[in-house]
Amino acid sequence: MQTMERAPVSLSILRKDGDVKRGDKISTFTSYLPNWRGHGGRHPTHSSVEFDRQLDKISLWIEEWNHEQRCQLIEALLRRSNHQQFQFLYTVMQPHQHRDFMYTAQKQFPETEFTPVSTHTTREVKRRVQLHREDNYYRVKSAYFHMDDEVKEQNKVIRRVRLPEILQDNHIIIHKNDTSISFGTKSIASLPKLCSVPKKRSNKSIRKYKLLQASKEELYNGPANDRFVDMPIKRHIQDERLTQSVPVFSTSSRADKSAMSSTKPGSTAKFTESKPDSDQIFDLSTNASTVVHWYTDLWTDVKRNEFLHKLILKLDPRQHYFISSFMLVRRHRDFLTLLPEKIVLCILNILDPKELCKCAEVSKSWYSLAHNNKLWKWKCDAVNIKVTIPTDPVWKKVYRDNVILERNWHHGTYRTVDMKGNSAPWEEAVGVEAVIFDRNILVSGSQDKTVKIWDIKTGRCAHTFEGHQGGVWCLSFFTPNLILSGSHDGTIKIWNVKERKMARSILAHDGPIWAMVRHGKILVSVSQDKTAKVWDISRCLLLKTLTGHNKPIFAVDMNEDGTLVITGSADRTVKIWDVETGEVKKTIWVSSTTSVMAVSYHKGFIAAGYDNVVCLHRETGKLIKTFNEHEKRVESVQLKIEDPEKITGAIISSGQGGLVKIWNTKMPQSIQTYKLSKEGGSVKSIKFDELRIVGGLKDRIRILDFQAPNSD
């Protein structure tokens, strides 16, 4: 809010028209008076002088307009204001919302109803006094405005006859040759020419008689108000001819088309053309359009605020009440609740999730709209949801859990869950050689010749399958209820989880089965016997035997459509096989010294682990990058490519050092390192998905869970 300028005021002999006689002696002193002259917040320039001329003209026009016309102009200006002006007016008009102001204004203008406007503060006061049973005194009812029309209706002047207040005799002056009553020298009401006064009456009865004879219409149509800020008229205004006017803006212009229009289409609330007389300087409708044009098209925010500051000083309490009421309607109008829900959701969908959470803090209505399940479903469709989606999802919770999950992966935040068996072999520290899991269960195979089923949510062992004659080195899901296991005894067994029994047993290889992979009904197993066998597991039928490696095969994987098989062998090579023909399509020499212990294929790229190195190759055999931060042999690798063209993705590797490392395919250094085994034991098998990392240790299964607690 701008402060009053301390302006020098000159004492001079003024003519009736406000001009100063040339040659008169002038004495000057400094006083605190409002200064109408404005420079737009800057030092005087050509532009500021023009702004000053415009303010002077507006000062004269305001004097000529009545209450209704002023309110129409104020409404037109407010509809063209931006946040800067609203912020200024919110602060300036606060005192005019107080009930003391309403009471004082009511006494000064009894023809206007100054009803206190309901605000959050008044409602809270009423609630507190009712709560403490203190509401035992009379309270004026507040008005609760919803629409602009209600504000304009409240601010209409009620035409009723009223007699001016008659003060004590020594304060009233009745001029013999004039038709006005004054307090000292200040006129308060213009009266018609009085009739002859009967003789032999007291002064008091004479005054009362004259007032009763006053015309009702003239009492009502007196001056709009005294000048709240009495500004000297500048010479450049006095010198202008009375017939001269500012440039006329045609009714087809943007300013004139909408300047004086009301909120509803077709409304006729406009400035009315008043009949020209000797005291009128400018045409009223043209002047109002000119003010709107200056305000809208020519003035900056600084000049607008300065103009509003000075305009408020020129207005009377009736217009102050109109501005404060109009601003309250603007301030508390909930535009979202006035629109259909479909349109509201489309508007809110433009906002990002953080902005939606801010909107939910505005009110109960906004909270309900910002938590709309359909709206958050749209937000979830726009991103890659990695968390588990329940049957009847609350989509905001799904989105929140997904954000927390991504943040936890980025910062390496997780909770550790350990699973231990209750049987004797676990207590004898028999190592876990293979782990697989889905959303509900986790399956482990170990050197104690058992296959265990775990509840992944509670960490409890649900069932233990026994039947192998050697350690279980590899596992795979066939269906949610059928588990495939490959053992050191050379057999493949199918276990029924639901019925808790063995369904099938296949004598598959002449040596230990080290790894296997499934795609659809096709299962590929690799063994110490240097072969890879392709099975139709639905019929337990051998389709092909892939021969070509001259040493044991330790790792196997398949591509996304199941047409290619990738094997890693102790002969230091990785071979790519065609499943349909059984022929080798490509041989990649990965290592020059040691066996290839792990392979993983995804979207045309192959990650292989040998010795303490992880390498990334294209399907064509071209080496992309090597990663060599492991201190001991790498035994498990899993690859996930996000963008094959940019070669962006992640690799998770583990080995005998007990470390789990996450690599970005674009960076030579690991981005996260987790010590899965504090004792430094070997991690024989590792699997991960979007939610967790699961590794098999010497005597337990350890889960690193990255999702939000209780998100399942």
Same domain, 571 and 635: yes
- For residue 426, the one-letter residue type is W
CA distance 114 to 189: 22
- Answer whether residue 437 is part of any domain: yes
CATH number, domain at 670? 2.130.10.10
| Number of domains the chain is built from | 3
Q: How confident is the model at residue 480 (pLDDT cuts 50, 70, 90)?
A: confident
Mean pLDDT check: name the lowest of 4-13, 329-338, 419-428, 613-622. Answer: 4-13
- Answer whether residue 375 is part of any domain: yes
Place of tokens 């590929």: 524
Helix (H, G, I), strand (E, B) or coil at 140: coil
pLDDT of 12 strictly over 50: no
- Answer whether residue 270 is part of any domain: no
What is the pLDDT, as a whole number, of residue 706?
Answer: 87
> Which one is predicted more confidently, 242 or 447?
447
Same domain, 406 and 420: no
Give percent above pLDDT 90 in the chain.
33
Place of tokens 């200006």: 77
- Mean of pLDDT values over 615-641: 90
Same domain, 406 and 426: no
- Mean of pLDDT values over 614-622: 92
pLDDT of 535 strictly over 90: yes
Contact 519, 531 (CB under 8 A): no
Same domain, 401 and 544: no
- Answer whether residue 554 is part of any domain: yes
Same domain, 371 and 430: no
Same domain, 543 and 398: no
pLDDT of 359 strictly over 70: yes
pTM above 0.75, yes or no: no
DSSP single-letter state for residue 117: B
Same domain, 426 and 404: no
- Answer whether residue 99 is part of any domain: yes
Same domain, 444 and 584: yes
Q: Which helix (H) or strand (E) holds 169?
A: none
- Domain containing 373: what range? 350-411
**Alpha helices, DSSP H only, in 428-548?**
none
What does the pLDDT look like over 457-474, one tens digit per residue? 788 888 999 999 999 999
Same domain, 428 and 407: no
CA distance 26 to 705: 88
What does the pLDDT look like over 155-201, one tens digit per residue? 766 554 444 544 444 444 444 344 333 333 334 344 344 344 444 54
Same domain, 373 and 463: no
Contact 254, 295 (CB under 8 A): no
pLDDT of 210 strictly over 80: no
Same domain, 618 and 642: yes
- Answer whether residue 263 is part of any domain: no
Same domain, 455 and 541: yes
Contact 667, 679 (CB under 8 A): no
> Within 10 Å of residue 95's Cβ, how many Cβ atoms?
11
What does the pLDDT look like over 643-668, one tens digit per residue? 999 999 999 898 887 888 889 998 88
What is the pLDDT, as a whole number, of residue 13?
Answer: 32
